[in-house]
Structure 1
């Protein structure tokens, strides 16, 4: 598995829900610049749900060799600044040991089949209080200016933000209309089912009447003599 493969897996992991060890990032990208002199994180995710303890940015560095891992640890932005409120290394299983990790860093291992295992991180178990404790203790002070640069570049990639916002509004309006029509259709189907049931009941009553009393008067044909009269 090469470096590019790991970067793609890192993006998927960033979006993975917290119940499965990820951070549930709404947005995640790989290998985007944070400025002319800034770092280029292998993967960076943005997670904002309105919960201060969980909200923030998550950075993943992918390593395929121990030499690359130790070289990365020596970089300046690994000691001061850098992006990501939470930071992880992702590497093939067994390449990096937990006791070799920098302070506050997590570790994600990848096996030969591409399956991911969170070895160290806030969501390594399902205990809520342990998660909160690790979220606080493993949090870094991120370089917000670098992260903002990346966000602006992302918007520039996809086009006019105002146009995109209008498209989202139109999509939401259409979705709401479709939902209303779906509800209306369900009501109509229910009304139709009720009419069919009532019609069946009336037909059964009519059949019982015919068996007991004969045909209804309105069903008997008129004789010509009666018409002449």
Structure 2
């Protein structure tokens, strides 16, 4: 169990390093071109996802996301105690990843985001679609080509940065951690609860539909 928790914490921390670090670097080098900054953000996140899922998947299952852990719990594939420990570890790992990134760029470690545009029906609907899509990719990949899941998730999130209005957080731990960074990737803390609520609703919808879509025929 300790090995699994270390994998989940480290993986989530590295995920936030890629999200926040590439956002800071992209914004600094893009000369005010938000599209270029977002492109850098998306590519770096997708690359990191491929790496951490491939390397840590055999240890913990490579959830790095409370929504994914909840989905596996609903399917009866992870116990309640371990699921709760996963979620706590993911949230803590994400925050540590944000602090580590601030240190790399010589920024104050403790910050609160002031990014105010991540709210409203369009953003919430976007997060619902992003989270549902992520679970579709994971469970569809496990059903058809388990070895391709790292690639599928990496490609999906890279694309979802661009085709969702919210830039596809799709992860409560990531959402919470990004509230602690007043940088390109931040989210105002007051907007976090609604994001997480819709992400969890999307897990329920995905569970009700995907278990039938990807059911193994007897």
* TM-score, normalised relative to structure 1: 0.25
Larger radius of gyration: 1
Q: Hey, which of these two has a bigger chunk of strand by percent?
A: 1
* TM-score, normalised relative to structure 2: 0.25
- Larger relative contact order (CA 8 Å, sep ≥ 6): 2
Q: Hey, which of these two has a bigger chunk of helix by percent?
A: 2
